Amino acid sequence: MVLNLILARRTLGLTQEDVAQRMGVSRVQVAIIESRPTKVSLDKIAAYAEALGGCLTLTLPKKLKRRPGNLVPLARAKG
């Protein structure tokens, strides 16, 4: 996902500094998003996408296969 954002940034001719200004963060924070995507929240990745003029969307498969313990009822989900 983040590799696609980096490619889009470069295709648009934007620097990390440009993206940082659009996001209202430092260039270092943009560098962290690009270099350590597993340590970054989806909110930050979504803000990066918006800074490029796009949006972040998540798609789930139409049919989910339930395995014991892998799905938590929404009423009990936290976070």
Residue 62: per-residue pLDDT: 81
Q: For residue 47, what are the contacts with CB-CB under 8 A and spacing of at least 6?
A: 23
Domains recognised in the chain with CATH numbers: 1-79 (1.10.260.40)
User: E strands, 1-79, where?
Assistant: none
**Cβ neighbour number for residue 48 with a 10 Å cutoff:** 28
**Structure token pair of residue 35:** 């270099």
Model-level pTM greater than 0.75? no
Total residue length of the chain: 79
- Tens digit of pLDDT for each residue in 31-62? 999 999 888 898 999 999 999 999 988 888 88
Give SS3 for 37: helix
Q: For residue 22, what are the contacts with CB-CB under 8 A and spacing of at least 6?
A: 51
